């Protein structure tokens, strides 16, 4: 094992639900091996209340949660990023932000629970399903042998993870 901590950024458009959930999950599942952040290309300015409720119900702390711009992570003095994952849903015709530079990146699109409609129970279910999908993908990611896998093979695995349902 290595003591290296990998910096990961989850990107979405609004940074109010999906990328926030992914940040929380990786910071828990990554057990100190990963430092996750999230941001949006057009931040909503607030975290969706259902995302906060879900995180609290799953015993995540939420004091850290805020909707922020990807500009915070693009400045010259920002921490080096090892991985950037977009979690917006291309099937919903959303514009997914692209990240310039050299971090490994992949698209892990999931439906936007903030766009869910219906009863409160249906909306909460949409948030729960988004959490489930992201949790599965992030769990696979954290189990990869990052120190012993080649860059091309790692990129293939990252792309495959984005197809995990």
Which residues are designated catalytic? Answer: 12, 88, 96
User: Cβ contacts of residue 4 below 8 Å, gap of 6+?
Assistant: 33, 147
**Strand 34-40 to 83-86 pairing:** unpaired
Question: Please, which residues bridge with residue 38 across strands?
Answer: 10
Contact 109, 90 (CB under 8 A): yes
Question: Please, which residues bridge with residue 106 across strands?
Answer: 85
- Residue ranges in the chain assigned as alpha helix (H): 18-29, 49-57, 71-74, 120-142, 151-161
Residue 39 φ/ψ, nearest 5 degrees: -160, 170
Q: Can you read off the two tokens belonging to residue 122?
A: 């249906």
Please report, for residues 42, 66, 121, the alpha-carbon distance to residue 103 in angstroms, rounded to integers and kept in the order given.
21, 23, 38
């Amino acid at each position: 094992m290595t003591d290296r901590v990998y910096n990961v950024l989850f990107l979405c458009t609004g940074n109010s639900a999906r990328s926030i959930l992914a940040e929380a999950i990786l910071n828990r599942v990554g057990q100190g091996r990963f430092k996750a952040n999230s941001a949006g290309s057009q931040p909503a300015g607030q975290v969706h209340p259902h995302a906060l409720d879900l995180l609290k119900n799953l015993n995540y702390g939420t004091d850290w949660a805020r909707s922020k711009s990807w500009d915070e992570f693009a400045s010259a003095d920002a921490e080096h990023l090892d991985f950037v994952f977009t979690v917006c849903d291309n099937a919903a015709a959303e514009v997914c932000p692209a990240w310039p530079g050299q971090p490994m990146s992949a698209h892990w699109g999931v439906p936007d629970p903030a766009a869910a409609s219906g009863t409160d129970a249906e909306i909460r279910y949409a948030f729960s399903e988004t959490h489930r999908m992201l949790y599965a993908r992030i769990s696979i990611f954290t189990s990869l042998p990052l120190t012993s896998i080649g860059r091309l093979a790692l990129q293939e695995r990252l792309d495959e993870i984005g197809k995990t349902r």
